Amino acid sequence: MTQSDPIFRLEGVTRRYGNLTALEGIDFVAEDNSYIALLGPSGSGKTSLLRVIAGFETPDEGRIWFQGRDITDVPAHERGIGFVFQNFALFPHLTVFENIAFGLRNGATKVSDAEITDRVRESIDMVGLSGLEDRNPDQISGGQKQRVALARTLVMQPKLVLLDEPLGALDANLRERMQMELRAIRERLDVTFLHVTGSETEALAMGDRVAVLDAGRIVQYGTPDAIYDSPSISDVALFLNRFNLFEGTLKNGIFEGAFGAVPVASARTNETDVYAIRYDRTQIFDTDSSYLPGPALPVRYLASEYLGSSIIFLFETADHKTVEVDHHLSLGEPRDLIVGKNYILSWDPAQAIVFGKEITR
């Protein structure tokens, strides 16, 4: 298989629970040997999608193709798709070794004991669990459980592994380390990871490609850069948590919002009119400043948050909407602001992204 062949393909996959539609006609093509992050807020249907691909649930409509084969009606245990659960779902009555050996020992194809031992040892080494073989799952830490869950899946040599918020149960330090390890492990094996997460930072950091799921539909699919720089609809921008979003009206190429009327060069189709500017592209000026790069938004300073490499300044507009400014410290010392004092926020209009019902070219 070449790099560009799809590992799996979804055709109009729909899943309903009573009146609730969890997945609505999803079409999706996933490249082989890649790391795909599936990003979505809770309730967006991301876990449903994973469960449908794994075969734990059947779609109400649509087909699922895996390695060129229609697997829609194939039961989960015959699909050869790995699954890593958020709660790890280790077998509590088996040791670490037996947990990892489980699929080889009890699967449809007989594997000799010698081969089982070899392959289990190999994957124990790969995930760095040596010395813990005889422990029970209740005698190891959360991070180690995660590794057992991963080793247990990878020892079966699947071509596709579905990971359902695999880092959700880990603490922050461990999460970052596991992020790197997951990427490294995947690169060593010829396997596609489909990693579901509700964290935008995790998705952007880990995925070769990121799919954004919203209300049961995939609203954007692309590289992290592409999604970060140009969200396709305002919901994606909102979910990325990197943009100040302003409501207003777009008419005849002019956007009218809290910052006045601004001419707009281009706009993307959206259900509402929204003006978006990234936190780190918003600048702070004094109220009597004579030069502004673009529109002027009067605000009141609330507080700041120190993040190590940058500072987040929080402001409030006249209609009590919070606006954030991200000042990266590599750009120089931040200015001293006085809490409660009024300032003007401005930005280069060329860097704004405008969404509108009316499309302007």
Partner 1 sequence: MESKVLKPILAVYVGFFILFLYGPFIVLGILSFQQGPEGGPQFPIIEWSTYWYRHLFGLTPPSRIAPLPVGEALVRSLTLAFMTMVTATILGVMAAQAFRKRFRGAGVVFYLIVLGMMVPGVLTGLGTSLLANNVIGIERHWWSTAFLAHVVYTFPFAFLVMLAILNRFDGSVEEASWSLGVSPITTFRKVTFPLIFPGVLSAMLFAFTLSFDEFPRTLFASGRDQTLPLAIYGTFSVEIHPNIFAFGVMTTLFSFALLAVYGILMGLSVRRAKKMAMQEDIA
- Which spans of this chain sit near partner 1 (rule: CB under 8 A)? 54-56, 75-83, 85-93, 102-103, 106-108, 136-138, 142, 145, 149, 152-153, 156, 169
Based on CB atoms, which residue is closest to partner 1, 101 or 204? 101
Where are the strands (E) in 158-237, listed by range?
160-164, 192-197, 209-214, 217-222
Based on CB atoms, which residue is closest to partner 1, 18 or 340? 18
At its nearest, how many Å lie between partner 1 and the CB of residue 53? 11
Based on CB atoms, which residue is closest to partner 1, 170 or 237? 170
Q: Which two tokens stand for residue 270?
A: 């959206």
At its nearest, how many Å lie between partner 1 and the CB of residue 194? 13
Contact of 248 with 273, CB cutoff 8 Å: yes
Contact of 246 with 260, CB cutoff 8 Å: no
Based on CB atoms, which residue is closest to partner 1, 38 or 276? 38
End-to-end alpha carbon distance in the chain: 41
- List the one residue out of 81, 95, 174 whose CA is nearest residue 136: 95
Based on CB atoms, which residue is closest to partner 1, 107 or 263? 107
At its nearest, how many Å lie between partner 1 and the CB of residue 192? 15
At its nearest, how many Å lie between partner 1 and the CB of residue 236? 29
Helices and strands in the chain, H and E counts: 8, 22
CA distance 134 to 130: 10
At its nearest, how many Å lie between partner 1 and the CB of residue 114? 20
Indicate the pairing of strand 260-263 with strand 35-39.
unpaired
Contact of 104 with 110, CB cutoff 8 Å: no
